[in-house]
Structure 1
Amino acid sequence: MAFNHLTTFLIIILLSVNLFDESFGEKGQKTVGNWLEITSPDDPMVIEVGKFAIQEHNKDSNSTLKFQEVIKGDTQIVGGMNWRLTIAVEDNGSLKNCEAFVYEQFLENVRKLISFKIIQ
């Protein structure tokens, strides 16, 4: 008899953990912790983060890159939002692509450039 109660209890615990640990978006995609593709790279918020990345890189490296557009990107929800963006920039008349990683925490109004590199 004790075995049946223990088994039932463990099954309930496992189901509860599974239900409350997962956060699902559209079509059953897990959103917390997974990277999700940005479907509208021309969205004003995406552009704002892209421009921020270029501005911070220019300030940190004494560069003069000019923002052109966000080509593509992904977001990840973790104790805030991670942005992984591919951005087109102009560098002294030539077009280049770069990859920027930005962390943003909305509640504390924090936005930080984590990494930046030219990929072309």
Structure 2
Amino acid sequence: MLLLFIFSCYDELLRIACYYDPRRVITALAIYCSIPCVCVVVVVVDAQWTGKWTPVDPKSAHVVEMAKFAIDAHNKQAHTDLKLVGVLKAETQVVFGDNYRMTLEAMDGAGGGGAAKKYEAIVWEKAWEKFLGLIAFRKTWD
């Protein structure tokens, strides 16, 4: 969309620059030549970030919200009663939305006693649709 807008402005930019002041032709040509370079840089930088897992603060409110969703969704699917103790580690990945990969600490809320266990959960969020999905939930053995 941005590229279509930029390319549609080229002819108008050159016409206005030449009509008002011939000295502006140099400025118009400089802009004409530099815009495609800027667009290429933006596309390349964006491509590098998409799909890469990047660390996020495990104590942030949004990450804790994703962790609570993961525990609740797992409890419904597996008929368990896990209670979130905390988020130990969190990463995010930009896809068609955002994936959150979290290492969680949870306890059995059904009176199991015992120590908290570690779990890994991946939650897919599409914020513009207000969609959350549990992609994976598993116990870790470390």
Does TM, normalized by the shorter one, top 0.5?
A: yes
Deviation at 1:47, TM superposition (A): 0.4
CA distance in 1 between counterparts of 2:43 and 2:72 reads 39
Deviation at 1:21, TM superposition (A): 3.3
Q: Structure 1 unaligned segments of length 5 or more: list them.
A: 1-12, 25-29
Instruction: Identify the structure with the greater strand proportion.
Output: 1
* Structure 2 residue corresponding to 1:34, chosen from 46, 49, 52: 52
Higher relative contact order (Cα pairs below 8 Å, separated by 6+ residues): 1
Q: Larger C-alpha radius of gyration, 1 or 2?
A: 2
| Matched residue SS, 1:115 | strand
Per-residue CA distance 1:31-67 (angstroms, 9 max, x = gap): 32211011x2111111000010000000000001110
Residue 44 of structure 2 corresponds to residue 21 of structure 1: yes
Instruction: Identify the structure with the greater helix proportion.
Output: 2
Q: CA RMSD in A?
A: 2.2
> Which aligned runs of 4 or more in structure 1 are off by greater than 6 angstroms?
none
| Matched residue SS, 1:86 | strand
| Matched residue SS, 2:86 | strand
Deviation at 1:18, TM superposition (A): 5.1
Residue 136 of structure 2 corresponds to residue 115 of structure 1: yes
**1:22–1:32 Cα contact (<8 Å) kept:** no
**Please, what TM-score do these two structures have when normalized by structure 2?**
0.65
